[in-house]
Amino acid sequence: MLENKVAIITGGSEGIGFGIASALASKGTRVYLVARTQEKLEKAKEKITQQSGKAEIRSADITNIETIKEIVEGVYHDNGRLDIFVNNARAWKGQSLNTPFADIWRLIEFDMRAPYELTHYLVNRFKNEKENTLRILTVASQATLQVMDNGLRFC
C-alpha cells in the first residue's frame, strides 16, 4: 500500500518527523526529508538508507514558502507523483510569558502560518491533477493541551 509512493516530511531529520519517515521508508516509500540543518539531514538519510530505505534530503526553512514550493515541484517533476506531505516541523521550545515577542512571532510563523499556507498551496496545486493521490498530514502536539506555570499556549 505504501510501496513506490513518494512522501515529503518537514522536520524529517529527527523526532516524530524522522520516525514517520523511517516508518514510511520501511514500507517502500521514497521519502524526502526537509529540515534546516544539513548535518542532521545527512545523518537521518544515512540511518534510513542503512535500513534499505530510499531517502533524499532537502535543506530548507519551512517559513520560506517559495523554497518549499520549489522542493514540491522538484519532487513531483523527478517522480511524476507526490503521494504524502507531512507538515511536521515545529519551533516550540517551551516558550513562556517572558519570551521576547520576536521569538513568539517566529513560533507563530513556524507552527501556524507555514503549515496552513503549505496546505493551501498543496490542495490548490494538486486538486486538478488527473491522478491526484496526495494525502496531507499535519502533526500536532499534546503540549498545547498541557497547563504549565507561566507557560504560553495557543491553538
Q: Is 145 part of any domain?
A: no
Q: Model confidence over 29-69: pLDDT tens digits?
A: 999 999 999 999 999 999 999 999 999 999 999 999 999 99
pLDDT at 120: 96
Q: What is the pTM of this model?
A: 0.88
For residue 83, which of 35, 138, 126 has the smallest C-alpha distance? 126
Cα separation, 144 vs 21, in Å, equals: 24
Q: Model confidence over 109-150: pLDDT tens digits?
A: 878 889 999 999 999 999 998 888 999 999 976 666 666 665
Element (H, E) at 35: strand 30-35
Q: Is 119 part of any domain?
A: yes
State the total domains in the chain.
1
Note down the domain range covering 118. 6-140
Q: Is 149 part of any domain?
A: no
Q: Is 93 part of any domain?
A: yes
Residue 49's CATH number: 3.40.50.720
